Amino acid sequence: MNEEITDKEIRLIGAEGEQLGIVSADEGLRLADEQGLDLVKISPQATPPVCKLMNYGKFKFEQSKREKEARKNQHVVEIKEIRMSPGIDVGDFNTKLKNAQKFIGEGNRVKVSVRFRGREMAHTDIGRKLLLRFAEECGETAVLEKSAKLEGRMMSIFLSPKTGK
């Protein structure tokens, strides 16, 4: 920027984006001073390097404003977890299903897991059927990302929102 540009020749671009040609760095700095602007090196790799006349303070301010706006509009996808047991009844199942659909509607991923205790470990197929039924019920709003997988005493699936929703 300004005096830090040590190149002999630079390709100069005006404040409005017009090409001013190849000039010496001193000439570019003089033009910037005349217009009350800064001389900023845009592309140092080019031969000769490309510099532009601009109000650098205003440029940095607008850039930070754009970044702040982008951060405000972005949505962080969280993973919500729903836990069940193989002996879950219809009412509880429906409540957990409703919560999962609410989470998916907000755009979050959902991990649905079944915990096996004691002798329930011998009947992991019941948990697998339960998880598949849960995934079918959520089928219109969510897609099954990872199928049922047994890890220790927990079997889980991942559901994520369908694209376009």
Summarised one tens digit per residue, pLDDT across range 70-96 is 888 777 778 899 999 998 999 999 999
DSSP of 63-112, one letter per residue?
A: HHHHHHHHHHH--PPPEEEEEE-TT--HHHHHHHHHHHHHHHHTT-EEEE
Quick one: fold of 2-72? Ubiquitin-like (UB roll) (3.10.20)
Is pLDDT at 165 greater than 50 in this prediction?
Answer: no
Domain boundaries, the chain: 2-72, 79-161
**Interval 19-78: pLDDT, tens:** 888 888 888 888 888 888 888 888 888 888 888 888 888 888 988 999 988 888 777 778
Q: pTM, whole model, 2 decimals?
A: 0.56
Complete edge-to-edge strand list for the sheet that includes strand 9-13 = 19-24, 9-13, 50-54, 38-43
**Interval 98-117: pLDDT, tens:** 999 999 888 889 999 999 99
At residue 42, the 3 state secondary structure works out as: strand
Say which CATH superfamily domain 79-161 falls into.
Translation initiation factor 3 (IF-3), C-terminal domain (3.30.110.10)
- Dist CA 16 CA 152 (whole Å): 65
